[in-house]
Structure 1
Amino acid sequence: MPEQPANTAPIHKVVIYGDSFADRRAEIQAALGDAFTVVTIGHGASRTEKESAFADALATIAVRIDADTPIPPSLRLIQVPGIGWDEIDLGHVPSGATVCNVGGHETGVAEYCMAQMLEWCHRLRPAEEGFRRGSWERSSRFGAPPHRELSGATVGIIGFGAIGRVLARQLQGFGVRILAANRSAIPADADVDGRYALADIPVMLRDCDFAVVAIALTPETRGLIGAATLDALGPQGVLVNVARGPVVDETALWDALSGGRIGGAIIDVWYRYPGADDPDLSPAHHPFATLPNIMMTPHLSGWTSGTVARRLSLMTDNIRRAAAGHALVNAVSTPEERKA
């Protein structure tokens, strides 16, 4: 191989590892420019193929890093293409690499919560489906009972980060009373009517019609919403989970829904996901799909065109920062922290 001319800047390699954003390789390459080369490699590739792809790489865009990932010591950035970084095994992160996550999904997730809470109140989908079949049973002209309004309801937000703040602003326009619980203090100028510590979530939920779970999954928040907390929400209350499945104890949720101890649930995040080596498509260990008081979606709330555009911009900016030796944005694990 001929030597690179002395006046030519080095080409920085970026590896997209896995399926997430692999279909956007050309966009990422175009955004980074000629000083970078972007390659893709799947989780199912051979060890030799992975070693070749990762050789001398500066950065990787990856959801998962584990013992099967041949990360080189040259790596400076592991850019998770989403907010959750629970599949990054820090034991296999090179000593000089920083792990960063990325947001940009808060508008999409907040709109999902709004749409689903409005749907829970108005039940327009089943009304339309029935009407298409010729049924007028939901019409007031034929004796239908009135349905709920979101206006005037009380919504509790568990986790007042980016999603919680955007959701609170959106709810303000609907005349909703907003309560919030957070690990750190909630700013005085936040769009909330009541503030709670995480230890006081059951107290908060006694006053709530809806409880939106938007807190990050950590060892401390795993199982945060258990049986006692769900009982506090009560037989008319509705749980909305757009965080991570295990923040809500699965068996406790099943028991509360199947036993009618809560009014219902709107769930977008799950307890198990299918993979190449696991063809089982069920999202949980309990048959939630058999219950009438749950609305289920396949982890789609934040995946909007706006999210994609914002994440592409944020990730490519971070990669350029890594190449230039500048401070990285949204660092969740740094070499200094891991040495401490």
Structure 2
Amino acid sequence: MKIVMVGEAATHQHELAAALATPAEFVALPREAHESAQWDDQIDGADVLVAMRFKRSTPAPRFRLLHAPGAGLDGIDFAALPAGCTVCNVFEHEIPMAEYAMACLLEHQIALASIDARFDSDRFSQAYLGRQPRGELYGKTMLIIGFGRIGQAVAVRARAFGIRVIALSSRARDGKVAGPMDEAYTDAQLLEQLPRADFVVLSCPLNEHTRGAFGAQQLAAMRPEAVLINIARAAVVDQAALYDALKHQRIARAFLDVWYQYPAREGDQVMPASFRFEDLPNAFCTPHVSGWTHGLFERRYRLIAQNIDRLARGEPLHNVVAGHA
């Protein structure tokens, strides 16, 4: 079994090899191999290509299975794939991303790090006697836009804090939304529901319907004290409208972990957005770390290994998004 791992995936060869029952030959390639024919001779004839991206303007090398080491497929040009190739993805990111979302909520309401930074033993008496009440999560309302694996994982944790959860999902049209929520509405009802929310969590996929769909009109519908948390894709939100809303304090705060531009290869220096969001006091910015945990990689590569073993035995694959199971 020949397995080619590209870019960041190549750094997890140990996790994959440890979980794999099938004997395998591994090839590690740099990130830019996803779009350059320079490495095609090393990919050609592979049984499995593990990569988050694949694009070609020339005829593609042959391989049987493209296994994305994540859920997102927007970096794959399906038209460029070789004939007969199967594409699978893997999840498991919903656990750390939901924890990250809850950390954002707690940071906004409690801000423990800031309280700790201001602590001074010499001024303890004044600080204690001058304490000001802070906010709490209990009784707040959260609107989750996109109620798939991530949205539902956020909802489970939010409800444990006593937060009322409103789910926004296209499945609500048919009354088929199930899971940990108090109410469910369709995408067409977004503007009606936004004014109700203390927290708006974006966890929807990026596609032709969602790209730029959260713009000036949606931001204007939010309450001035409301908070936006984007753990979906940056391009779901119109960045100029978001910057303007934050700069003029039309919403209280935004937690941003996903960005509009990323480096394509080692050594690239890119700006994450057209605006310096980090300069705004009400923008909390992190470099796409919401799902980046040790547990995530252990779970993902264990599942990828199981799929590769199934491929070797000729058994149906799990999480097939294109091609044959």
State which of 277, 280, 298 in structure 2 corresponds to 1:288: 277
Rounded Cα–Cα distance in structure 2 between residues aligned with 1:67 and 1:247: 26
Q: How far did 1:32 drift? A: 2.1
Provide the residue aligned with 2:136 in structure 1.
Answer: 149
State which of 252, 260, 272 in structure 2 corresponds to 1:263: 252
Give the conservation status (yes or no) of the 8 Å contact 1:183–1:197.
Answer: yes
Q: How far did 1:31 drift? A: 2.4
Provide the residue aligned with 1:182 in structure 2.
Answer: 169
Q: How far did 1:42 drift? A: 1.2
For structure 2, the 5+ residue unaligned runs are none
Q: Which deviates more, 313-322 or 241-250? A: 313-322
Q: How far did 1:40 drift? A: 0.8
Change (3 A) 1:162 1:188: closer
Q: How far did 1:189 drift? A: 4.8
State which of 237, 254, 272 in structure 2 corresponds to 1:248: 237
Describe the SS at the equivalent of 2:196.
coil
Q: How far did 1:132 drift? A: 5.9
Change (3 A) 1:133 1:260: farther
State which of 175, 183, 198 in structure 2 corresponds to 1:209: 198
Rounded Cα–Cα distance in structure 1 between residues aligned with 2:153 and 2:255: 19
Give the residue type in structure 1 aligned to 2:150: I
For structure 1, the 5+ residue unaligned runs are 1-11
| Higher helix content, 1 or 2 | 2
State which of 281, 306, 309 in structure 2 corresponds to 1:320: 309
* 1:129 maps onto 2:117 in alignment: yes
Question: 1:1-340 maps to which residues of 2 (within 5 A)?
Answer: 12-18=1-7, 20-33=8-21, 35-44=23-32, 50-67=39-56, 71-73=60-62, 75-131=63-119, 139=127, 141-142=129-130, 144-185=131-172, 187=176, 189-276=178-265, 279-334=268-323
Give the residue type in structure 2 aligned to 1:40: A
Give the residue type in structure 2 aligned to 1:148: G
Describe the SS at the equivalent of 2:61.
coil
Q: What RMSD, in angstroms, separates the aligned Cα atoms of the two structures?
A: 2.5
Higher normalized contact order (CA 8 Å, seq sep 6+, divided by chain length): 2
Rounded Cα–Cα distance in structure 1 between residues aligned with 2:281 and 2:110: 16
Give the residue type in structure 2 aligned to 1:197: T
Give the conservation status (yes or no) of the 8 Å contact 2:177–2:184.
Answer: no
Give the conservation status (yes or no) of the 8 Å contact 1:50–1:69.
Answer: no
TM-score by length of 2: 0.91
Aligned length: 322
Q: How far did 1:276 drift? A: 3.4
Rounded Cα–Cα distance in structure 1 between residues aligned with 2:266 and 2:255: 28
TM-score by length of 1: 0.87
Change (3 A) 1:39 1:280: closer
